[in-house]
Structure formats: C-alpha cells, structure tokens
C-alpha cells in the first residue's frame, strides 16, 4: 500500500487513485518573471520523484504543469524592461525548460500557459457569478469566501480570521489578509487585457490552475502538488473556485514540499541569496549530484543547501556509479547463487516499501546502500557469478528509473590483459598493500595514483578525473574500493627511463 501525507487531512493516508492504475497529477509550475532558483527546483524534483515512483509501481501517470506567463510580477517585470509580456517571459520559459533537462526531470504531458487559456478561465468565472459565488465590483470580479463554507480547510485558517466582503486585488498575500480574492481584474492602463464576455481585463493568478487542471485532468483528480508556500492563498483559492464551480471534490491528495534554505537561511530575492541551477553548475558541473542532493532529503523536511553538501552528494554518487559500473562491465564466473538472488529481492522489497511510506527516500537509499555493501563483499570474496551481476545490474536500472542519477562508470569496459589484470591496492597512505603479483607500473604512474588519491581526499574531483584519464591513456585502469584504490593494466604499461 502506498501512503502519502495529505495536507488536506493532516495525516498519512493510503493512496487510491480514482481510476485503478491511472494517476492524474497537477503540479503548479513556474511564474516566468525571473530565472527559477534551486528552491523552486526542489519542489519540481520532489514532484518528479513522486511521478517516477508512481510509474515504477505500475501506474500510468498523466501530469500537467502550468506556466504562469501573466500575473502581477510578470506584468511589472515586462514594464520595467519596456518589453511586451510574451517577449519578456520568453527567455525565462526557455531557461526553465533547459533547467528541467539538466536535472533529468521527466517532462509533463502538458505545460499549459495561462495566456493561452483565457476562454477556459472566463467560462469558470461566468459560472461562479451565475451560481452566486462571485460578484462584480468596478469591472473586476471577486470570489466571495463567505459563500464557500469550506474555505480555509486546506490551510487550516480559522473562520474568525476571515474578512468576507473586504477585497484583495494582489495575486499573493499573507494569511493575515484573508479576503474575497480577485478572479478577473478590470482593464488597467498599460496592462495587457482581453476583451471577453465578462468584460475587458485579465485573469487573477489563482483561476488559471482551476481552468487548466479541469481541462486536462477533469473536474476531480488524484494529486495536486506544490511548495508549502502555495498552500495559502493559492491552493486554498483553487479549491474554492473549482469546487464552487463544479460542485464536486476537486483533488483527493494534496502533497506539499517544504522549504529549501541556503546555508541555514531562507532563500529570497530580498536577502540576495537565491541561486539558480546554471549558477551552481558553473561552480560544480555535476547535475546528477545536484539532483541527488535535492532528492535525498525527505520532501517534508527543510533542506539546507550548501556546497559542502553538494560535494558529499557527488562523492556518494560516484561510489554508486563505480559500483554500478563494476557490476555491469566486470567479468564474473558463469552461474548464479541463491544468496545474490536473495539480496536483490530483499533490496527491491525494501526500496519499494521505503518509497511507499510517503516517499521515504532515506529508507529507499538504505536498501540500495545495503545491497552495495553486500555485493561488494561477494565480489571481494570471488563469490559473485555472472547472472548474479546481471540481476544486480537490472535492479540498479529499475531503481534508477525512479532516482534518475546513476551513470555506471565505463572505465572498466576496456579489455584487460588477463595476465596483468590482477588488482593491487594502494592504501590512503600510498603504501602498496595488495597482492603479490602486481602489474608493473612506473614510479611516475604510482605518483599519479597517489596524487589522485590526494585530490579525491580534497574533493577536487575535476583534478581526480583528469589524473584518472591520464593513467587510462597510459593503460592503467583505476577502481575505487572501500579499502583504497586498485589498479589494473589495460595493456602492458609504458616503461620510462
Ligand atoms: Zn497553481
């Protein structure tokens, strides 16, 4: 049974989709007034994990993510730069898609844009007016929260805090100003507007998600996600609009991702500590490590982003990649063992049950790490067989359909001369400890191996990788093991001097 923590009910609940085997998922997308920062992407990655996991569990997922290309902020930004709205938002939309790709996020089925769904929004607003949930004032149209008794259920605001009859025109506001919120904003000088049946103007922010979700997913659907910042007012208002208009439950499960802080501080433009995906990749060009870092904290916990944490993620991931490569490309004696089959099925069950528990990523990763540990022991003891390795490889492949971060290292694909393929170990101090029949290496090559060890210890992965390649060009293949680095010769090593 899959369980999710439902913000609406405040507890973990068993997940049952409306149609067995099919999940309809709506996730609030970016407001394209600026480059999205890493905090935004934490939410998009949580949603990607959720979607990939549901697919892993055999569900067909239909995923819709809107793009807010008109609201207070986009209009203000375009004005400041003296650009048309579409011209202004274009570069942020392009950057958003480039970042999604860099982070290996599975694309949504549809990315509807607000400006392309004005008729759908107008239709819902008309209906709300007809049903008495909305009223017109000075050319604008407002939702009357007093008419919707369930208002506040998602964000748990008490009814005493409500100010029915008072109006709020801005798209974003705090809980302190719970007012009738704007659905349609009257035409204003210098703002884009549409001529419609409900008068000239433009939509408020919240109505677009009600319009686009019902268009692409239906009036009732399974899961709606966003960051915790979206709970109030945005999601509260979406519920009011949709349920008042359609008279049925809007969404069954509301999942919200918590904040990302940077070096312990909330990230915000006013603090000047926001950071974008390209900014980070300029400093450390390892998008898989960034993805891994952002996924590896449970979505309902605050995530503290630091470059040290990113380096640690890179190291952890490098270990997984090397293991995956060793399993995929290593050569093992023919056959299979019951022990390996047991290890794999246990790991698989634990990985599934971990994520089934409200996406408990720590439990899932522990399942993977335990398997790596056990298989490494089997390899070291010469017990892993070729079909065992294939089973482990398959498991890693299926795990990675969810994680999307593993790139098995191919450095061991090169054909190894059977005589010189015996492995040797250098301990961190640089002392050769391994087997007696060492492949010959020169003092210079040994020096390179030791320099690479130091680079790794200093987390200078770029240098470590360069030294690894340099050695590979000389016919020395390196393998990192829990005991230290091992090498084998790909071809008779070059002699110098
Ligand atoms: Zn939304």
66 C-alpha to ligand 1 centroid (Å): 7
Please write the tens of the pLDDT for every residue from 397-417: 999 999 999 999 865 333 334
Q: Given a cut of 70, is residue 377 above it in pLDDT?
A: yes
Q: How far is the CA of 69 from the centre of ligand 1 (A)?
A: 12
Assess whether pLDDT exceeds 50 at residue 285. Answer: yes
- What the block records as the tokens of 154 is 């998602």
Number of neighbouring beta carbons within 10 Å of residue 369: 15
DSSP assignment, residue 58?
Answer: T
Mean pLDDT over residues 105-125, rounded?
Answer: 98
Least confident of 74-83, 286-295, 315-324, 453-462: 453-462
Looking at every residue in the chain, the average pLDDT score rounds to 89
* Rounded distance from Cα 159 to ligand 1 centre (Å): 23
**Measured in angstroms, how far is the CA atom of residue 286 from the centroid of ligand 1?**
30
- State both tokens at 444: 């210079």
Q: Which of 75, 67, 76, 22 is nearest to 209 (CA)?
A: 67
Question: What are 221-243's pLDDT values in tens digits?
Answer: 999 999 999 999 999 999 999 99
Cα–Cα distance between 143 and 121 in angstroms, integer?
A: 13
Start-to-end CA distance of the chain, whole Å, equals 67
Residue 91 has pLDDT above 80, yes or no: yes
| Pairing of β 260-262 and β 265-266 | antiparallel
Cα angle for residues 349, 353, 357 (degrees, 5° grid): 175
The mean pLDDT value for 250-259 works out to: 97
What is the structure's pLDDT at 432? 37
Confidence (pLDDT) at 266: 83
Tell me how far the alpha carbon of residue 75 lies from the centroid of ligand 1, in angstroms.
18
Q: What is the pLDDT of residue 439?
A: 59
Give me the pLDDT at residue 347, please. 98
Q: Model confidence at 161, in pLDDT bands (50, 70, 90)?
A: low
Centre of ligand 1 from the C-alpha of residue 293, in Å: 26
Q: Percentage of the chain with pLDDT > 70?
A: 90
Which residue bears the tokens 């997940």? Answer: 15
Residue 278 has pLDDT above 80, yes or no: yes
- Asked if residue 71 has pLDDT above 90, the reply is yes
* Ligand 1 centroid from CA 235, angstroms: 7
**Helix, coil or strand: residue 432:** strand
Model confidence at 14, pLDDT cuts 50, 70, 90, reads very high
- Cα of 230 to ligand 1 centre, how many Å? 8
pTM assigned to the model:
0.82
Q: What does the pLDDT look like over 288-333, one tens digit per residue?
A: 999 999 999 999 999 999 999 999 999 999 999 999 999 999 999 9
pLDDT, position 444: 85
339/464: higher pLDDT? 339
CA 55 to ligand 1 center in whole angstroms: 23
Please give the distance, rounded to the nearest whole angstrom, from the Cα atom of residue 417 to the centre of ligand 1.
59
């Amino acid at each position: 049974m899959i369980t999710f923590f439902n913000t609406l009910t405040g507890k973990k609940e068993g997940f049952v989709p409306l149609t067995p085997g099919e999940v309809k998922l709506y996730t609030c997308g970016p407001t394209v007034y600026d480059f999205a920062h890493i905090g935004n992407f934490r939410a998009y990655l949580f949603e990607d994990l959720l979607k990939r996991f549901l697919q892993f569990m055999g569900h067909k997922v239909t995923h819709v993510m809107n793009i807010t290309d008109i609201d207070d902020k986009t209009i203000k930004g375009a004005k400041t730069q003296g650009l048309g709205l579409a011209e202004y938002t274009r570069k942020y939309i392009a950057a958003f898609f480039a970042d999604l790709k860099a982070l290996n996020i599975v694309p949504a089925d549809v990315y509807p844009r607000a400006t392309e769904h004005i008729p759908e929004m107008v239709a819902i607003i008309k209906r709300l007016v007809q049903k008495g949930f909305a009223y017109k004032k000075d050319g604008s149209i407002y939702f009357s929260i007093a008419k919707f008794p369930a208002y506040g259920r998602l964000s748990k605001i008490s009814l005493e805090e409500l100010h029915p009859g008072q109006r709020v025109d801005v798209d974003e506001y705090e809980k302190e100003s719970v007012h009738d919120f704007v659905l349609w904003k009257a035409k204003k000088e210098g703002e884009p507007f549409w001529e419609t049946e409900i008068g000239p103007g433009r939509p408020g922010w919240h109505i677009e998600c009600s319009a686009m979700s019902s268009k692409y997913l239906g009036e009732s659907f399974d899961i709606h996600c966003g960051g915790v910042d979206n709970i109030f007012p945005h999601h509260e208002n979406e519920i009011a609009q949709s349920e008042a208009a359609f008279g049925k439950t809007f969404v069954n499960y509301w999942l919200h991702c918590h904040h990302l802080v940077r070096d312990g501080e909330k990230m915000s433009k006013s603090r000047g500590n926001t950071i974008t995906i390209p900014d980070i990749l300029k400093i450390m060009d390892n998008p898989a490590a960034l993805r891994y870092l952002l996924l590896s904290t449970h979505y309902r916990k605050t995530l503290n982003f630091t470059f040290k944490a990113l380096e640690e993620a890179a190291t952890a991931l490098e270990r997984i990649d090397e293991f995956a490569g060793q399993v995929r490309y290593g050569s093992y004696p023919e056959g299979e063992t019951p022990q390996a089959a047991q290890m794999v099925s246990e790991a698989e069950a634990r990985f599934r049950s971990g994520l089934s528990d409200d996406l408990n990523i720590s439990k899932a990763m522990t399942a993977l790490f335990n398997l790596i540990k056990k298989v490494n022991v089997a390899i070291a003891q010469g017990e892993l067989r070729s079909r065992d390795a294939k089973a482990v490889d398959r498991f890693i492949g299926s795990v990675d359909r969810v994680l999307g971060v593993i790139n098995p290292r191919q450095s061991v694909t090169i054909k190894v001369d059977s005589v010189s393929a015996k492995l040797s170990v250098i301990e961190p101090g640089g002392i050769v400890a391994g087997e007696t029949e060492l492949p010959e290496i020169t003092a210079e090559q040994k020096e390179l191996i030791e320099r690479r060890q130091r680079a790794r210890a200093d987390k200078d992965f770029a240098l470590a990788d360069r030294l690894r390649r340099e050695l590979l060009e000389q016919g020395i293949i390196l393998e990192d093991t829990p005991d230290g680095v091992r090498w084998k010769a790909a071809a008779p090593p070059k002699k110098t001097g």
